Homo-oligomer: A and B are copies of this chain.
Amino acid sequence: MADAQASSAAHEAWELLTEVMMGQRSRMLAIASEFDLAPAQVMALKSIEPGSPKPMSELATLMRCDNSNITGIVDRLEARGLVARRPGDRDRRVKMLEVTPEGEELRRQLHGRLSRPPEPLASLGEEDARALRDILARALGRNDD
C-alpha cells in the first residue's frame, strides 16, 4: 500500500511532465526548420560528437532505427557538408562518421537554441529550479551523496 501511495505522486508528476514535453514539440520543430533540418537530422547531428567519430551502426542504435535509414539521413547531411564518412581503421566494413567544421558550427548554434530552458522552467523561482534539478539528478541516478 505504501507502493500505491508512492506511485500516485509519481504518476501525477509524469502526467505534468508529459504536458511539458508536448509543449516543447512545436518549439523543437520550429528550431529544426530554422536550420533547414529534418528532426531526424537534428538528432543525428547532436549524436555525433566532434572529435569522436562513430560507426553508422552506433548512430542507428542511438536513434533506435534500422541501419538502412541511417544511410539516407547521413547522405543528406553529407550532401550539405555537415558530416563525412571515413573508412574504419580495423574493420573495413564499418564507416566512421565525423562532423565537419561546418557541422561543428551548426551543432553549436543548434545547441545554443535547444539548451535554453523553455517557458515553464524559465518561470520557476530559484529555489524551485534548484530543487527540480536535484530531484531529476537523483531520478537519473546522478547521486551526489
- Give the interface of A toward B (CB within 8 A): 2, 5-7, 9-21, 24-26, 29, 64, 114-118, 120-126, 128-133, 135-142
* Assembly CA distance A126 to B4 (angstroms): 10
B129 and A9 contact, CB distance less than 8 A: yes
| A13 partner residues in chain B, CB cutoff 8 A | 117, 121, 124, 129, 132-133, 136
In the complex where A17-B20, A115-B11 touch, is A135 in contact with B128 (Cβ < 8 A)?
Answer: yes
B15 and A115 contact, CB distance less than 8 A: yes
In the complex, the count of this chain's copies comes to: 2
> Nearest chain B CB to A66's CB is how many angstroms away?
12
* Assembly CA distance A10 to B117 (angstroms): 6
| A123 partner residues in chain B, CB cutoff 8 A | 139
* Assembly CA distance A65 to B38 (angstroms): 14
Which of A12, A25, A118 has the largest number of chain B CB atoms within 10 A?
A12
Name 16 extra pairs, CB < 8 A, besides A13-B133, A16-B139, A21-B24: A7-B117, A7-B122, A10-B129, A10-B132, A11-B115, A13-B117, A16-B136, A16-B140, A18-B114, A20-B139, A20-B140, A26-B64, A120-B139, A124-B135, A132-B132, A132-B135
